[in-house]
Amino acid sequence: MKQYVVDAFTDKVFGGNPAAVCILDGWIDEPLMMSITVENNLSETAFAVKEGDKYHLRWFTPGGEIDLCGHATLACACVLMNHYEKDAREVTFTTRSGDLKVVKKGRLYEMEFPAYELAAVPVTDAMEKALGARPLEAYSARDLLCVFDDEEHIKNMSPDIEQIKGLDGLLLHVTAPGSGADCVSRSFGPKLNIPEDPVCGSGHCHIVPYWSNRLGKRELKAYQASKRGGTLYCRYEGGKVFMAGEAALYSVAELYV
């Protein structure tokens, strides 16, 4: 079985967010997919099987299967368009979150994702204790989104990962206005055995609608301020989040399983 590792949302290796990608002739059993994911020890491993003119795509974290993942979708599209469907300029994935389309635009891969509908929730002492600073606002959808007023809070934050497990939401995202981008953010997923997700695509299905509405802008440049760092070029339109980024192939391997 061939496996690719792609760094997504970056133009060079060792940046962005690494995802493993396995393009299969047919589905292998779920325990084996989980074993491969745990062995990789990356935030996501993607498995895809061609079905008609689409690819059925599934994402696994070391903590289990999830319903939406941006960087592994971008990574999978990069692998397919460069190694399997070399003449293709778009690919459609069938997923647990519906059909997702990725279009290649020059060096960028643009993904069309559903936007999460955010509901304002009270800022709590538990949030402050987990993050080491009190958010100005908080919102809930699949994940919890905490908003700050200074990007330095985001860049310098050293959250208590164990305390984050006690907060609502599958993942936790922190965000603030940016100086070199419209917004900066970081994403934490200890419930999925991911202390910090270096660049979280699905997290921007929360982050982009918030900043689009707050700034009155449909097009946003977003920066994820993890140690690896990553840039997303986003558009919020018709209840959808369009996210584009570059990708860099790190490795190709043969799995003996």
Active-site residue numbers? Answer: 44
Nearest-angstrom CA–CA distance, 12 and 9: 9
Nearest-angstrom CA–CA distance, 24 and 46: 10
Pair 64, 89: CB distance under 8 Å: no
Which residue spans within the chain are E strands per DSSP?
A: 2-8, 17-24, 44-51, 54-61, 64-66, 90-95, 98-105, 108-114, 119-121, 137-140, 144-147, 172-177, 183-189, 194-197, 219-224, 230-237, 240-245, 247-254
What does each C-alpha distance from 257 to 19, 59, 96, 147, 218 come to in angstroms? 19, 19, 26, 44, 46
Nearest-angstrom CA–CA distance, 189 and 196: 6
136: nearest Cα among 126, 145, 149, 124:
149
Copy the structure tokens of residue 219. Answer: 């097009």
DSSP annotation of 81 reads: I
- Find the radius of gyration of the CA atoms of the chain: 17
